[in-house]
A and B are shown apart, each in its own frame.
Chain A
Amino acid sequence: MVSQGGRSLRQLRVGDSAYVSAIDNHRTGAKRLADLGFVDGASITMVRCGKPCIVRIDDRLVGLGLGHQEVILLSAASGL
């Protein structure tokens, strides 16, 4: 399923994919996430929802706590 624009990671359901539009630079952990590939344009897929959740980025599964989920901002993901 393709996500709609402006949604946060918390709104994705299992199997939904989306592009990262930005990360909230003022939040703790933003640099860490950017280093791991959560940068503008990266595609992610929700594997397990909740607090924490598991997302797939590239071929890597990453567990993300609530604080990190709120740092990642998503854009519409046409074509995914």
Chain B
Amino acid sequence: MSTHVAQQPASRHKLVALAGNPNTGKTTLFNALTGYRCRVGNYPGVTVDTRSGQIRSEYGLTPLTLLDLPGTYSLAAHSADEAIVLDALLGELADVDVPDVIVIVIDATNPRANLFLVSQILELNRPTVIALNMVDLAQRSRVHVDAERLSLRLGCPVIPIVATKQKGLALLCQAIDEAVESPSVSMGLDWPYPVMSAVESMHDGLAPVANGKDRSAFNAELLQTLLGDGGYHEQRWGMRCGEDFRSLLREQRKAVVDNGYSLASIEGDVRYAWIDRLIAETVKRDEGRPTGTAKADQILTHRVLGLAILAILMGACFQSIYAWSTPIMDAVDSAIAAGGEMVSAWLPVGPLQSLIVDGAIAGVGAVLVFLPQIVILFLFLAVMEDCGYMSRAAFLLDRWMGLIGLGGKSFIPLLSSFACAVPGILATRTIGDRRARIVTMLIAPLMSCSARLPVYMLFIGAFVPDSQLLGGVIGLQALVLLAMYMVGTVVAILVAMLAKRTILKGDPQPFLMEMPPYRWPKVRTVFHRAYEQAREFCVSAGTIIFAVTVVVWALGYYPHAESIAIAHEAQRQEIVSAHGAAVSQIEQANDIAEDGNTVALDELDLQMNTQLYRIDQDEAGEYLRQSVLGRMGRWIEPVVAPLGWDWRMGTAVLAAFPAREVMIATMGTIYNLGENVDEQSVGLREKLRSSRHPNGQPIYNLPVALSIMVFFALCCQCGGTLAAIKRETRSWRWPIFTFVYMTTLAYLGAWVTFVVASRLFV
């Protein structure tokens, strides 16, 4: 997920924008220069938003703010993330000034492809520095770029660097520092007269609304508007100036076409002709033998083998979540239980003890138990992202995604949504087709995110037998977990098919994606990604979940009527008195043998303790039933009863609508409040297994567990996701639609699951 790391300060820090093709190492360079640890990955579209940070003092002679931009092949924006780039370079992004210097990061292994964007940016006539990245890989690939000569030809510094090894960064920063004060770069391409004439006419027509823009930058923008038929720039000017602009644009495009030029290819023809001359002078290349990437692609992009490997990778991921995490999970569980017992022993019985033990420790602790699974899931995703496999997976699945009206590009946002739907929704910015993008956003929350994993783990661990299938290759529990992930995926497919045939009709755009070279995942990057996610999970447990837990505890604790305590205390007194009387009677009996006397006394003690324990249980249950939470729960019980749930589960689900991970914490709190303090050492899983209706029937069994899991698989219990959809679509219509359709599906799915499973398994 890309985030705005730091706001650009209002004071006079010079602004340096980092631009370049996708996958050229911009974010790696940003991290190296600023000391931030923003997410990097080996596939196009990792950065879809801007972020800024201060260049570290050891590099910057003057204070500089660095602005990292999404990767783009061209300033002619074809998707939302690309549209941000030209806006940022022109200073049209909210809260971001016009950059003082533009640093273009280019991949030294493939300069020709990168120089297209360079030629576009140089036309903006801004101070520019080229960072020639990955010169070590270029050397290995026998590509030799003459940086000095290239610098002379481009009219701006070209600095060879290796961002991953932080090589050449001091020189780069020195060049940036000098460029801040140096005159703007000026370059000219051989544009045909009709094109330049059309741009000038548009300039004259739009000058009154240009707000004093720099002439070169404005002309560069108008060139992209003229040639980018139906693109983002055209849409923006259309919104700003209406029909006057549209008729001017139509007229100028017609003039270009009437002169025998193609709007689609003229820019490519002009720029690549210039680039080829430049390459001939500055780049030498030795033909090499087939690379490791080519060999790996023989297998990994194979139609059958490749898909089989993808399926095996996914299966291995789910199996390892179970196999590797269980021992760690048990250890965390025990530590939390021991912590609860220790605090109980220190604090006197009362609201404070209950708040800390039943609320904070039981609630937040119940969530933290699932940290190991989250880490393992993210380690898998990080390896796939960093080695370059994600684009291949998108490639393999394009044909299959086409069956549901989407393209392979939708795959990466959807796969990201298995971690969290919010970055998944942001990642849809790389999808150029608006309808396909909205459909992808609508179904992204159906991918089982990591917040659902604890719910699955809790109920599968408690109610699905731990048996092995296929001779021990895969466990039944892992298979049910995989099935839960499949529920969301299958429903997403159906929803996408329906949406593409009804409300968002339209043919999908053809697949177009760069396949980056494979590389070994960097241990640091992979572990950093897992660490970041674990940290986010813990922060969420310590803030939102903790806050909700306290509220749930308060609702479940109060009013804590004294009459209940008085009534139960009276019962206790009665039992203790009766016990005292019985003991005296036995002790006074002289004709009973000493041994027999002791046995009888022990039996009396046991009987009394059992009775007292039941009274404690009754009292705790009575408190909970009479609490605000208990009353609310009974109020919603008729709604959730058809799903097989009792009022506690209904309440936990209700509390989990803002954020689904709250559910486990709520259950932990409810079950601790409703039970004797002595039983705190028993994990939530055991409590669910042993909880009974008043008639002795178990509250939870396999059908109920499946019903709960299906509900969670399909329900949109995430405020962050809905806010992200609102932000990306700029409308409340789609988040409301998402919430309504998912909640309805979740309820119906849970009901059908409960009914069918009850017939099959009970």
Taking beta carbons and an 8 Å cutoff, which residues of A are in contact with B?
Answer: 22-23, 25, 28-40, 42, 47-48, 50-52, 54, 57-69
B73 contacts A36, C-beta separation under 8 Å: yes
B176 lies within 8 A of chain A by Cβ: no
In the complex, what residue of chain B is closest to A30 when comparing beta carbons? B264
B514 contacts A37, C-beta separation under 8 Å: no
B76 contacts A35, C-beta separation under 8 Å: yes
Q: Looking at the complex, which one of B109, B110, B268 makes contact with A34 (CB distance below 8 Å)?
A: B268
A-facing mask of B93-134, CB < 8 A → 1, else 0? Answer: 000000000000000011011001000000000000000000
Known contacts A32-B78, A52-B408; is-contact A62 B512 (Cβ 8 Å): yes
A35 contacts B141, C-beta separation under 8 Å: no
B297 to nearest A CB, angstroms? 7
Q: Looking at the complex, which one of B73, B229, B399, B511 makes contact with A68 (CB distance below 8 Å)?
A: B511
B294 contacts A23, C-beta separation under 8 Å: no
A65 contacts B407, C-beta separation under 8 Å: yes
In the complex, what residue of chain B is closest to A34 when comparing beta carbons? B268
In the complex, what residue of chain A is closest to B257 when comparing beta carbons? A25
Q: Which residues of B contact A47 (CB under 8 A)?
A: 294, 297
A5 to nearest B CB, angstroms? 20
Known contacts A40-B269, A60-B110; is-contact A31 B229 (Cβ 8 Å): yes
Q: Which residues of A contact B399 (CB under 8 A)?
A: 50-52
B113 contacts A25, C-beta separation under 8 Å: no
Query: CA–CA, A23 to B268, complex, Å?
Result: 11
Query: CA–CA, A31 to B262, complex, Å?
Result: 9
In the complex, what residue of chain B is closest to A60 when comparing beta carbons? B113
B184 lies within 8 A of chain A by Cβ: no
Q: Which residues of B contact A28 (CB under 8 A)?
A: 509-510
Query: CA–CA, A63 to B301, complex, Å?
Result: 11
B301 contacts A54, C-beta separation under 8 Å: yes
B269 contacts A36, C-beta separation under 8 Å: no
Q: Which residues of B contact A69 (CB under 8 A)?
A: 510
B74 contacts A52, C-beta separation under 8 Å: no
A37 contacts B268, C-beta separation under 8 Å: yes
Q: Looking at the complex, which one of B265, B293, B294, B303 makes contact with A25 (CB distance below 8 Å)?
A: B265
B60 to nearest A CB, angstroms? 33
In the complex, what residue of chain B is closest to A69 when comparing beta carbons? B510
Query: CA–CA, A25 to B677, complex, Å?
Result: 76
Query: CA–CA, A48 to B468, complex, Å?
Result: 39
Q: Looking at the complex, which one of B73, B109, B228, B398 makes contact with A63 (CB distance below 8 Å)?
A: B398
A32 contacts B512, C-beta separation under 8 Å: yes
Known contacts A34-B265, A35-B267; is-contact A67 B110 (Cβ 8 Å): no
Query: CA–CA, A22 to B269, complex, Å?
Result: 10
Residue in B110, B228, B391, B511 whose Cβ sees the most chain A Cβ within 10 Å: B511
Q: Which residues of B contact A66 (CB under 8 A)?
A: 510
In the complex, what residue of chain B is closest to A31 when comparing beta carbons? B264
Q: List 23 A-B contacts (CB under 8 A).
A: A30-B264, A31-B228, A31-B263, A32-B512, A33-B268, A34-B268, A36-B73, A36-B74, A36-B512, A39-B269, A47-B297, A52-B398, A54-B515, A57-B113, A58-B110, A59-B141, A63-B408, A64-B510, A65-B407, A65-B408, A65-B510, A65-B512, A69-B510
B64 to nearest A CB, angstroms? 30
B265 contacts A63, C-beta separation under 8 Å: no
Q: Which residues of B contact A62 (CB under 8 A)?
A: 512-515
Q: Which residues of A contact B510 (CB under 8 A)?
A: 28-29, 52, 64-69
B272 lies within 8 A of chain A by Cβ: yes
B227 lies within 8 A of chain A by Cβ: yes
A39 to nearest B CB, angstroms? 4
Q: Looking at the complex, which one of B73, B294, B517 makes contact with A35 (CB distance below 8 Å)?
A: B73
Query: CA–CA, A69 to B398, complex, Å?
Result: 14
Q: Which residues of A contact B408 (CB under 8 A)?
A: 52, 63, 65
Known contacts A34-B264, A61-B293; is-contact A67 B269 (Cβ 8 Å): no
Give 12 new A-B contacts, CB below 8 A, not counting A35-B73, A61-B517, A65-B511: A30-B262, A31-B227, A32-B78, A32-B512, A37-B268, A39-B265, A39-B272, A47-B297, A50-B399, A61-B515, A63-B395, A63-B513
Known contacts A34-B267, A39-B269, A47-B294; is-contact A29 B509 (Cβ 8 Å): yes
Q: Looking at the complex, which one of B113, B228, B267, B297 makes contact with A58 (CB distance below 8 Å)?
A: B113
B515 contacts A37, C-beta separation under 8 Å: no
Q: Which residues of A contact B76 (CB under 8 A)?
A: 31, 35
Q: Which residues of B contact A33 (CB under 8 A)?
A: 268, 512
B269 contacts A34, C-beta separation under 8 Å: yes
A-facing mask of B74-87, CB < 8 A → 1, else 0? Answer: 10101000000000
In the complex, what residue of chain B is closest to A39 when comparing beta carbons? B268
In the complex, what residue of chain B is closest to A29 when comparing beta carbons? B510
Query: CA–CA, A68 to B408, complex, Å?
Result: 14
Query: CA–CA, A31 to B395, complex, Å?
Result: 21
B706 lies within 8 A of chain A by Cβ: no
In the complex, what residue of chain A is closest to B112 when comparing beta carbons? A58
In the complex, what residue of chain B is closest to A68 when comparing beta carbons? B510
Q: Which B residues, 290 to 309, have Cβ-Cβ distances below 8 Å to chain A?
A: 293-294, 297, 301, 303
